[in-house]
Every structure is written in C-alpha cells, then in structure tokens.
Chains A and B, each alone.
Chain A
C-alpha cells in the first residue's frame, strides 16, 4: 500500500494500533479498545431485568436513602458532573468533608473491586456502603427498609422486580437494584471508539498523536490499559496525602499508598483528579507523572521516568478528550 493510500485508508486507526502492538515487546498490556458487553460479569451470571434497573434508578435519586433525607446517591454522583461532584473531596449529608475524591461511575460493569482502596468486592456491596456510613448518608439499612416499605410505589415495584425474593424489600434487593442501574452507565461510543472502527477523522490530529504517546513513550498504558483504560489495579503513584490506601485493606509490599487505577472514559468530565482530588486539570495530571518519578519515594515500578514536551502534554490531553461519550441520565421521578 502506498503512503497516500495508507493515509486515506479508512482503517488507518486500526493499522496504527496494530503497528504499535507489533513494535512493543512480546508481553503486552491488555489492548485498549471498545468494551464488550459479553465480558460483563453479572452476579450469578444473571443479567438484571428492566424492572430491576428502573427500580435501581429511582433509588439512586431518592433522598430517603440518607438519614436526614437531604441526600441521594446522585448528590455526589451527579450525572451532570461526570457522575462526580466536581469537588476535591466528597461532602457528607451533615457537611463533613470526606477523606477522598468522589469516584465516577462510568463502565463500572467491567470493574473488579470498588472504592479507591478496593474494599468492596462487588458493586452491590459498594452501593450500600455510603448509605450506612455515618459521615456520608448516615442511615442504617433496617431503617431504610422500614422507610421504603411505607411507600406504596416501592412495595409494588420491589415485588414486581423481585418476585422470587421474600421479603422483596431487603438489603440484598436494594443493593442489587442500585448496582444493576449503575451497570447500565456504559460509555462506549467516544470519538476514540469510532476511530478504532475505522472512522479516522473521528479523532483530531492532536488526539491521534496523543494516542501514540499514550501507548508509547508516556507509558500511560502501563496501568491505563484494556477497553476501559484501567488495569483495575492498585498502584502508589506518589500523591502525597498521608493516606495508606489499599494497605488498610490488604497487607503486602505493593499496597502501601496504592489506590485503584480509575478508568479514563469520560475523564474530561470527572475532575478534579487523584484519590484526594488534589489536581485540577488533566495537563497538571500528566505533569505529575513527569515529576513524581524524579522525586523518588516508594512508587509503583510502573511509574517509569518519562519526559514530555508541553506540546506532547497537550496532545495527551486531546487524546483523553477523545474518550468522551457522556451518558445522559434524566433524573428518575421519586415517589
């Protein structure tokens, strides 16, 4: 194929990726690409019903889930703020500033462990955590069940969504419904995905250069790999917050100061960044990855020393921008 034909080829994006894969060593990171819904591990391999998802959505927006009835899941995981709150750190129902940044909810269906320190093994378990936490929503689950049972809407819809479960309204079904809704928050049609399908022009020249840097000398791919740009792993990346992170959950030589790699889909919408929300822009995030390895300390070996020009930083940010495919959610009508 001559160069001109190559430049015009609709599959240029694919060739570019294949070429980059070929020049990387034999062992490689899971390739970036569009996530496959077949790879979602549903609990007990059961896909949730439409009724369960709809019920979960209503619960997600219902302030009955907080002690003072002033806060819902959506208060912090605001669909219009990248399923975050735009704040450095989360704020509880009584105004307490929490220890960490509110994580986004995009493509959690493929995720392995939950919370920044991975202390929840399932989305079901995670969904119930902030409800009971005294500094967050501060409502004990038996009290929540009592509240929901008093609402005819919930009586009807839990019974319809969970006909096999007795009682229909329980910790299990509340967690399952919310998690089932959250698993539908799928972002898989970003300019990057269209580019990978052969729509070369879907990504700007800057973003394309940024992608080559992402996979190459910027070494982002070391951890932000796979279809959701996360290895689902835990790494110490040198954000000095005094927080031990994963080590509080699991002892080991690799867990001290380590936090979960967040997926990068819609990352443009999910600032501020890092587990403590201490970095406000994506450019500054990239700068952190240039600076931190030079400072030393107990960093993950995946934090290789890198050098990038200012222009290259902009290219990387442009590529991250090409991972944007918002998931619009109209708030549910709360009964």
Chain B
C-alpha cells in the first residue's frame, strides 16, 4: 500500500512536470524523401543524434520467425538489454562479431520458444550486424542509439522512392541517417530548413535524401 501510494505520487508528479514543460517544447516534424537510382537498401535509420533520453531500463525484443528476424533493425541504447526470442519451430542462434564496435557475443543454441537476454555493452552510435550461425542468410542490425527520436524504415525494395516523417521537439537539431554499406549522413536542420544530400556507396552516388523541417 505504501508502495502504491508512492507510485501514485510519482505518477502525479510526472504528469505535472510534463505539463509544465509542454508549452516550451513544441513538437515539430521532420519529413524526408529517399530516392534511389537502383534497388534500395533493405533498411534505413533516421534519428536525432543530439537527444540522449532513451529509456535504458526498458528491454527491447528481437524475435525470430520463419527463418528470419522479425525486424530488420532494432534500436537500443547502450546499457539496455535485448531479449532475443525464438518464436520459430527450428533452432536458431544470435551472434555479433563487430570488432570496430566492440560487439562480440554469441547466445549459443536458441531452441524454439526460448528467450535469451544480452546486454548492449558495445560502442554508442554504432550499427552492428547480428546473425544466426546456423542460417547465415538471417541478418538484422542493432543500432546503439540513445535518442528517443528515431525511426527505422524497412523499405519495399521494388520501389525506388520512399518517404518518412518523424515528430521531433524543437530542442534537437542534429539529423543522422544510416543505410547499410552507404556512407552515413549527418547534418543540422533548424525549423523551416531543408537539406539535400547525395547517398553514396563505395564512392558512387546511388541516391539522394531530401529532408525538411516544419
């Protein structure tokens, strides 16, 4: 009972605090277009790199089904935990071997129905690839991102043009865009601004990104 009362007080306080700050942190929107000259990549990550408010206590989940990861990318802050779930009817495994990011783990054999936790204990602002040692075609990315303002776009690879929109508060301005095998993109964008940049892979332009902010 004491505990419940305390929680209630905390909740009331949280709501009050949020209400107090609301008038000062107007939420705007960042929207963009990605156009590719060829087949687009399978996934794109867009995030505001100058926010660090992600909840480290919350467990993120990455599931496996039909011999695939159910998501192409998972966003998790450093210090949080990822639950690797196997909802498939065959055994799987999850491992990473990214020496640059310091991500080196192997959860071993993950039988159907299992959940195995792994701490995100490698570099911040890194995107690492995780895979299954039994099925090397199974691939997903884990992005160590502290920002609450992020969006993972799983692209329909039959289409060359893609759009996205992301609600962001006025306090953050640093946009980062990550695409597998492409050079990462980073720029600041103020309210009312627009930014256009080439998407480059191995020194060649494979597309353009246009982002505007309201």
A residues whose Cβ falls under 8 Å from a Cβ of B = 25, 27-30, 38, 44-46, 112-113, 118, 222, 225, 231-235, 246, 250, 252-255, 258, 300-302
Contacts and interface: CB of A to CB of B under 8 A. Distances in A.
A301 B111 contact: yes
A230 to B, nearest CB: 9
A250 B131 CA distance: 12
17 contacts: A27-B65, A27-B66, A29-B66, A29-B67, A29-B90, A30-B68, A38-B158, A118-B136, A232-B135, A232-B137, A234-B134, A253-B93, A253-B108, A253-B109, A300-B134, A301-B90, A301-B91
B93 A231 contact: no
Given A30-B66, A222-B90, A231 B135 contact: yes
A232 B136 contact: yes
Band of interface residues on B? 20 to 34
B136 A28 contact: no
A302 B134 CA distance: 11
B88 interface: yes
Given A45-B206, A112-B136, 9 more contacts: A25-B89, A30-B67, A231-B135, A234-B136, A252-B106, A253-B93, A253-B108, A254-B93, A254-B133
Contacts, number: 69
Interface centre among A222, A231, A255 (most CB of B within 10 A): A231
A222 B201 CA distance: 37
A290 B152 CA distance: 45
B87 A27 contact: yes
The list of the 7 closest CB pairs from A to B, nearest first, reads: A233-B135, A232-B137, A27-B88, A112-B137, A27-B89, A252-B133, A45-B38
A254 B158 contact: no
Interface in B16-71: 38-39, 65-68
